[in-house]
Amino acid sequence: MTPVISLTMDKEELWQALLAQIQFNISKANFATWFKNTGVVSKNEGQVIVTVPNNFSKEWLENKYNKLIFKILHNLDEGIKEVKYLVGRPGLENMGPSMTTADAYEAVPQLEIQEFKINKESNLNPRYTFENFIIGPFNELAQASAWAVAQSPGSAFNPLFIYGGVGLGKTHLLQAVGNEVAKKVPQKKIKYTSSEKFTSGIINSIKNREVEKFKAVFKDIDVLIIDDIQFLSGKEKTQEEFFHIFNNLYEKNKQIILSSDRPPKAIAALEERLRSRFEGGMIADISLPDLETRLAILKAKSQEKKVGFADDVLEYIASNIQINIRELEGALNRLAAYQKLNNQPPNLEVAKTLLKNVIFSPKKLANPEKIIKAVAAFYNIKEKDILDTSRKKEIVRSRQVAMYFLRQELKSSFPFIGKKFGGKDHTTAIHAYNKIAKEVESNDSLVEEISLIKEQIYRL
């Protein structure tokens, strides 16, 4: 082998080894999003240059994964002292100036448009997969539980109960389990249905005296998925029939997966025996996505839709649509429609106009920065101190209040809150939130403080 070839082998092998290890450290979806189309262009005197498909990935790898990448590379080859990232395509030695995200999408050949057909038997929509489900602190427990269930239906957690607000990925996750099981074991019988459909099925079958026939459909199902189970509230007859279907499947170790907009104990007019069944397995919530994950979702969706928008446009959307992932998608669709009509992607100004109706005035929205600012101002301490690790009594107290607001107003996940405040553990965040929430019940002056700070947060 000539030295040149062995050098090439070297860097490629190195990158392959890195990718193999990264896969164990991060989720499948994040791996697919951030490490697809990456490679190494050169390895010289301790410096490794990694190519990434666009600026967006570059920033992401630099800010979020550089430590991990460096650690793994350094373990593989002690001589490596530095990792740099360059926009370009792997294999291109001679790269021009950085591409914008949009350029990058044009440059990289796109996948064929996939057509999604809903399976008539299972009601599963193949568009919902684990591969295109982005994970962040707000949904990682739900995703991990769903993944575990997909790996061993009927034995990991039964039932699996996922709850969370509108448009946050419950249906996506439920269907992803179904699709994953169907892919792995095609002969398994899977059924996805909404609780409304289930209810009307029961009611019709009662009318037509076909209840037994209706129930027979569920007899030999391996994975039963019922979405939005909160709608069973108050429907006694349906609950009764569902109870029998549930037991029958459960006893045969068949997997049951449910979703709801609230936890079982908060569903009104739900029979106690059903509630206790729901609570007998795994309950996982999906809270609100943090900014980073919202950006990751926008990026992944643009790729899916084969459109590319400038980073500032994506950032504008991500920082202004804070709650609902479906709305994030809606915003992208508007911009995509513009791009199609005008043959060019909208710039930030155009995007702002296009999204005027979708995005409320940002002034009305809270965010972690406003919360920290308002809390610091109220207690007359420095913002930096709240975010730091100081253990001074009054600072610890303000920090707890700030943590409380992040949870209360933004529904941030506890791991996210912990990390935000001096890289603390999620248990610290849980403790802070519980402490303040409990005190609010009995301490009137704290209630007053909280409401004053809140006013301030929404005024900023």
- Of 224 and 325, nearer to ligand ADP (C-beta) is 325
Query: Minimum Å distance from CB 329 to ligand ADP?
Result: 5
- Of 329 and 449, nearer to ligand ADP (C-beta) is 329
Task: Say which entry of Mg ion, ligand ADP, none residue 321 contacts (CB below 5 to 8 A, set by partner kind).
Answer: none
- Of 174 and 365, nearer to ligand ADP (C-beta) is 174
Q: Which stretch binds Mg ion (CB under 5 A): 169-177, 189-197, 298-306, 328-336?
A: 169-177
Task: Say which entry of Mg ion, ligand ADP, none residue 166 contacts (CB below 5 to 8 A, set by partner kind).
Answer: ligand ADP
Count of residues interacting with Mg ion (CB under 5 A):
2
- Of 171 and 239, nearer to Mg ion (C-beta) is 171
| Cα dihedral 428/147/251/221 (nearest 10) | 150
Query: Minimum Å distance from CB 74 to ligand ADP?
Result: 32
Return d(Cα 184, Cα 166) in angstroms, integer.
30
- Of 179 and 398, nearer to ligand ADP (C-beta) is 179
Closest residue to ligand ADP, judged by C-beta, is: 169
Query: Minimum Å distance from CB 428 to ligand ADP?
Result: 26
Query: Minimum Å distance from CB 227 to ligand ADP?
Result: 7
Near Mg ion by CB under 5 A: residue from 54, 171, 322, 413: 171
- Of 43 and 172, nearer to ligand ADP (C-beta) is 172
- Of 326 and 435, nearer to ligand ADP (C-beta) is 326
Query: Minimum Å distance from CB 191 to Mg ion?
Result: 16
- Of 171 and 400, nearer to Mg ion (C-beta) is 171
Q: Which stretch binds Mg ion (CB under 5 A): 150-158, 162-170, 296-304, 449-457?
A: 162-170
Closest residue to Mg ion, judged by C-beta, is: 171
Q: What HEC string does the chain produce?
A: CCHHHHHHHHHHHHHHHHHHHHHHHCCHHHHHHHHCCCEEEEEECCEEEEEECCHHHHHHHHHHHHHHHHHHHHHHCCCCCEEEEEECCCCCCCCCCCCCHHHHHHHCCCCCCCCCCCCCCCCCCCCCCCCCCCCCCCCHHHHHHHHHHHHCCCCCCCCEEEEECCCCCHHHHHHHHHHHHHHHCCCCCEEEEEHHHHHHHHHHHHHCCCHHHHHHCCCCCCEEEEECHHHHCCCHHHHHHHHHHHHHHHHCCCEEEEEECCCHHHCCCCCHHHHHHHCCCEEEEECCCCHHHHHHHHHHHHHHHCCCCCHHHHHHHHHHCCCCHHHHHHHHHHHHHHHHHHCCCCCHHHHHHHCCCCCCCHHHCCCHHHHHHHHHHHHCCCHHHHHCCCCCHHHHHHHHHHHHHHHHHHCCCHHHHHHHCCCCCHHHHHHHHHHHHHHHHHCHHHHHHHHHHHHHHHHC
Task: Say which entry of Mg ion, ligand ADP, none residue 303 contacts (CB below 5 to 8 A, set by partner kind).
Answer: none
346-376: buried (b, 16+ CB within 10 Å) or exposed (e) per residue?
A: beeebbeebbeeebeeeeebbbbebbbbbbb
Closest CA to 182 of 124, 101, 238: 124
Query: Minimum Å distance from CB 164 to ligand ADP?
Result: 6
Task: Say which entry of ligand ADP, Mg ion, none residue 167 contacts (CB below 5 to 8 A, set by partner kind).
Answer: ligand ADP
Task: Say which entry of ligand ADP, Mg ion, none residue 168 contacts (CB below 5 to 8 A, set by partner kind).
Answer: ligand ADP
- Of 170 and 411, nearer to ligand ADP (C-beta) is 170
- Of 138 and 421, nearer to ligand ADP (C-beta) is 138
Query: Minimum Å distance from CB 460 to ligand ADP?
Result: 28
Is the CB of residue 32 less than 8 Å from the CB of residue 5? no
Query: Minimum Å distance from CB 133 to ligand ADP?
Result: 5
Q: Which stretch binds Mg ion (CB under 5 A): 8-16, 102-110, 171-179, 356-364?
A: 171-179
- Chain residues that interact with ligand ADP, rule: CB under 6 A: 132-134, 139, 164, 166-172, 297, 325-326, 329
Query: Minimum Å distance from CB 233 to ligand ADP?
Result: 17
Task: Say which entry of ligand ADP, Mg ion, none residue 254 contacts (CB below 5 to 8 A, set by partner kind).
Answer: none
Query: Minimum Å distance from CB 123 to ligand ADP?
Result: 14
Instruction: List residues binding Mg ion (CB under 5 A).
Output: 170-171
